[in-house]
Amino acid sequence: AQTVTQSQPEMSVQEAETVTLSCTYDTSESDYYLFWYKQPPSRQMILVIRQEAYKQQNATENRFSVNFQKAAKSFSLKISDSQLGDAAMYFCALLEYGNKLVFGAGTILRVKS
């Protein structure tokens, strides 16, 4: 069965600094998608970034980028120039061909001013 592991329950970063959130996963499929979702205090699930497993190039979205290591089954999220609005719970998620998203346990990110 597919699993997603986020080993950092909580992380802190100083405003304007860079932080990296870790995620590892397990799947027997060769083709799949990976996502990072942000859940602020409003509880809305907001897609931050996505990565297609067949693409070697790491995805980037403005201040957000990923380090996708397919062989190691690792998918970390880097947030540059951290802002107060980045404070939230971040979930790593795996989507295999088909249906369900499998989520990690989440990492709470705190941003200090």
Among the listed residues 24, 33, 67, 74, the single contact to another protein using CB under 8 A: 33
Compute the distance between CA of residue 91 and CA of residue 111 in angstroms, rounded to an integer. Answer: 17
60: part of which helix (H) or strand (E)? strand 60-61
**Residue 36 binds another protein, judged by CB under 8 A:** no
- Structure-token pair, residue 11: 């992380």
Per-residue interface string for the shown chain with another protein, residues 45-74, x marking contact by CB under 8 A: xxx--x-x----------------------
Nearer to another protein, 43 or 84 (CB): 43
Residues at the site binding another protein, with contacts judged by CB under 8 A: 32-33, 35, 37, 42-47, 50, 52, 91, 95, 97-106
